[in-house]
Homo-oligomer: A and B are copies of this chain.
């Protein structure tokens, strides 16, 4: 039996919010297989590299995003025997959430890169099993908004309640009542930390600026119902 050799890759579902939509980063493949097709960013894990380090490295290589501002967490492992026609490859996928929308930059293996609205998922096909991975990543993000402070990962370091609400509305593709949302998030345990300052960048009456609080869990949760 022994242990057959595998290649291991780290692939990324990178999500951000454009003006009015949830978008995922996709890159155009510059090498076979699926040359010219769209795929998730990612690449081989190096011989002496931890999985998450590999994911962070790929993220930096393919986007140039400042590493400090990006939330990253493991999504799942994918290893169907035929998922890569070249050889046996297991990929460990990571979910990354970025607050703003930087211009994607082509990496070593990527001829091109762009933000694809997840709404267009229905029509576009990605290479390998990346459709599935992307769908899993989106679902993870949607689900975690309910019971974790993950939504703040889409926000800049200081943000308003309205900006946080916009995250929920775009990720869940729903409308939320501003008054009830405000009551809820300002009442949630350690979610928001007031900075004392205000901003008018959203227009209208000046809004309080908040920082992410130290809570790891959102209680009470924000249910979609």
Contact = CB atoms under 8 A, between A and B. Distances in A.
A158 to B, nearest CB: 30
A51 B90 contact: yes
Nearest to A147: B147
Contact of A77 (B46, B92, B219): B92
Interface residues of A, number: 36
A5 interface: yes
A177 interface: no
Interface string A45-81: 1111111000000000000000000000010111111
B221 A2 contact: no
Contact of A221 (B8, B47, B92, B221): B221
Interface of A: 1-9, 44-51, 74, 76-81, 87-90, 92, 146-147, 219-221, 223, 225
Closest 7 CB pairs of A and B: A4-B47, A3-B7, A5-B5, A77-B77, A51-B79, A77-B92, A3-B44
